[in-house]
Structure 1
Amino acid sequence: MALDRYFNAFEAQTPDFVARIWLGDTYAGSHTYEGYSTERHETKIPMSYLMDTATGGTQNLILDKEGPGRLYYRLGLKYAPTNFNLEPLDMGFVVMREYEAVDDADDVYRDEDGVWHIKAGARVRIRITMVADNRRYHVALVDPLPAGLEIINPALAVSGDVPQDPNDTNYRYGWWWWGTWYQHQNMRDERAEAFTTLLWDGVYTYTYVARATTPGTFVVPPAKVEEMYSPEVFGRSGNDWVVVED
């Protein structure tokens, strides 16, 4: 009943409008909406056009609606970086990643160039620290694994026990919350994932353990945290270089 009253008040006007888009002085498209519908219309503008200095560099994106009814829209970018050396980025989350030795302090170290060195066969604890400056909803953390490491999944009988994190704070976040901040996690072949429907502002950590199995030099994409249904709210660590050594 409450949702019905809300809908009748918020959506009192039946949609009957035309939506138009301009990028700078260039007309990018339009679409007509008639009646209530879950219909979606998408207009794609090539990144090459956005980056073309001949078009004048930075341009205004203009949306116009003519007619009654509510227009819901989303603006987003899909792109791939051209450089492997990515700096951390804060667009709502601060994200940091570290690799720690589990059994012997000499198994893992970071040199003066920022490259991580891991002894082959050693167990490694990967620690992700993230800072949320506001309450966030439907949060996903994804941490890609270096190709030379394999996750030790404690849920599998063949994996054995995972050692206790010496920096474990009994999973306390404020006075109101005990337990892990995440509600679900996945241990996959090439990445670890953690999810929660609600994340209060604060500092959080996520750790898991892997074993260095394959010698070599590997580039590791950044760890990333985002709101799944508002992906423009996100953050990432920088990328890392990992050397697994005999």
Structure 2
Amino acid sequence: MLFAHEDFLFEDDYRDPVKRFGVVATFIKRLSREQNYRGGFAFWSSSLESPTLTLMVAEFLIEAREAGHEVDALLEKTKGHILNTYLRDDAYDLREFNKEYRDKLKIHALYVLHKLGQPQPSRYGDFRHNLFEKDKVSQLRLIEMLAEDEQYQPLVQAWLKEQNNLIRLKGETAVVDDPKVALDGYYFGYSSRAQTARLARLLINVEPSHPLLFPLLMGLTQEKSNRQYISSLETLEVLQALKAYQKVLVAGREPVIATIRMNDRELLGRIDPKKNNQPIELPLKTLPDRMNLQIVKDSGDVLFYDMKFHYALKEFRDWGLEQGITLTREYFDLKGIAVTPKDFLHGKTYKVVLNFFFADEADFLVVEEPLAAGVEPVNFALQTSRWGLQRQVTNTQPTLGAYLDHREFRDKKILLFAGFVPRGFYEFTYFINVTNRGQFMTPPAKAMEMYSPEIFGTTGKEEVRVK
């Protein structure tokens, strides 16, 4: 219904817009039969009216009207009910609910009337004094309404500034999350992604030049989740956000003429709009010590570009890197005494502990732990003489193993895979047998998100000496 002319979003028979229109029209007829005499709706024909459901149905009817459906009679009846009941403090229907619920309901009702083209600005003042104490969804609804009134602009700008501290940046993407909303029965289905979509839609309408708008949209389109349940409300919010952005995005009709220079040396002139990617590869050894890169658009519509550096070091670092993930190694003998890899003894077995800290929840995590040439891992999947060492695995932090979907123990490295890991500290323990005397080197271990490789962490290299 929302994308009446976007046939590519649908499959099979639903690619036909006439069929889609008919399905929505049939559902609207069902709603007309289930609407009570006052204009409200209930979850079941035999149950009491639900104020939350009534307002959600009203929002659906507003969207249906914009798509060309005849719903004026239904909307008028519901609108009168909202004015006469949901905005009244002495309404009999709302006496059983606490003040927090009634405030959410009133803000929701005011928002529906705002979308109907009948704003009630005289009632906004009741909530502006404690705006920042409201839940995230109520705040978003209030700001969208207040933004159209000049007297509330200072409050709107202060709220927008506050959001910069609440938006979580994750690599090239950004998300907003209010845990209270996800656990609130009033907002069933309002996941973190739904909240992110609603904030993005608000910024498009109120401040389209906000620097975090594009990362928020990137977060919506690039999310790869292993969740088994995604609510229809979440899907709807994301589609509405992308639809709103589609309206303000200037379509590229004219070829973009741009010049890319490095230290006054021209790297690329005319950009062909028919090609999505025109890579420029510069070997690291050709880069000057001081680099001044300029990208100048001379004419055309919108120029999007992505700049990344890919290079390999001649030798490994002695220290680790932290880009959203912190990773360290520790070594212990079988008595639990800490040792260094420079003091390994031939024929002995040692315990290795990988310590992780995830600054944010990690999706599709991959851990690669290389092994020195003089050691081999103990694989508990095989019942060897070392199989009983499992009982010596004790952790001071939550174990990463609880979240692993797959693990591989090879001769040269250990691989770990997890679909999702919450934010926090974790440990992973394994054992190694020292098989050869000599001096060896253990390359850095690396943990990263498979689909967001810019979020990663490494250890440093370590020298191994076996006596």
Q: Give the TM-score category using the shorter length.
A: 0.7 to 0.9
Which residue in the other structure is 2:367 paired with?
Answer: 141
Matches of 1:20 and 1:165 in 2, distance apart? Answer: 62
Please list every run of at least 4 consecutive aligned residues from structure 1 whose deviation after the TM superposition is greater than 4 angstroms.
Answer: 1-16, 157-160, 169-173
* 1:244 corresponds to 2:244: no
User: How far off its partner does 1:8 sit?
Assistant: 5.7
Which residue in the other structure is 1:192 paired with?
Answer: 414
Which residue in the other structure is 1:75 paired with?
Answer: 308
Q: Is the 8 A contact 2:399 2:427 kept in 1?
A: no
Q: Which moved more, 1:191-200 or 1:18-27?
A: 18-27
More strand by share: 1
Deviation per CA, 1:5-36, whole angstroms, max 9, x where unpaired?
Answer: 766655665545456533343322254122xx
Matches of 1:109 and 1:160 in 2, distance apart? Answer: 20
Matches of 1:19 and 1:200 in 2, distance apart? Answer: 43
- RCO comparison, higher one (Cα < 8 Å, 6+): 1
Matches within 5 A, 1:40-189: 40-50=277-287, 52-53=288-289, 57=290, 59-64=291-296, 66-69=299-302, 71=304, 73-82=306-315, 84=316, 86-102=318-334, 104=335, 109-110=339-340, 116-157=342-383, 161=387, 162-168=389-395, 171=398, 180-189=402-411
More helix by share: 2
Equivalent residue pairs, number: 225
Which residue in the other structure is 1:32 paired with?
Answer: 272
User: How far off its partner does 1:149 sit?
Assistant: 0.7
Task: Structure 2 unaligned segments of length 5 or more: list them.
Answer: 1-8, 10-235
Q: Counterpart of 2:391 in 1: which secondary structure?
A: coil
Alignment match of 1:209 (pick from 418, 431, 437)? 431
Which residue in the other structure is 1:176 paired with?
Answer: none
Query: TM-score normalised to the size of structure 2?
Result: 0.42
Q: Counterpart of 2:272 in 1: which secondary structure?
A: strand
Q: How high is the sequence identity, in percent, across the aligned residues?
A: 24
Q: Counterpart of 2:285 in 1: which secondary structure?
A: helix
Query: TM-score normalised to the size of structure 1?
Result: 0.74
Q: Counterpart of 2:369 in 1: which secondary structure?
A: strand
Task: Structure 1 unaligned segments of length 5 or more: list them.
Answer: 174-178
User: How far off its partner does 1:151 sit?
Assistant: 1.3
Q: Counterpart of 1:77 in 2: which secondary structure?
A: coil
Matches of 1:22 and 1:159 in 2, distance apart? Answer: 64
Paired letter, 2:264: D
Q: Is the 8 A contact 1:143 1:191 kept in 2?
A: yes
Q: Is the 8 A contact 2:373 2:412 kept in 1?
A: yes
Q: Is the 8 A contact 1:120 1:215 kept in 2?
A: yes
Q: Counterpart of 2:344 in 1: which secondary structure?
A: strand
Q: Structure 1 133/60 Cα, relative in aligned 2: closer, same or farther at 3 Å?
A: farther
Matches of 1:183 and 1:62 in 2, distance apart? Answer: 45
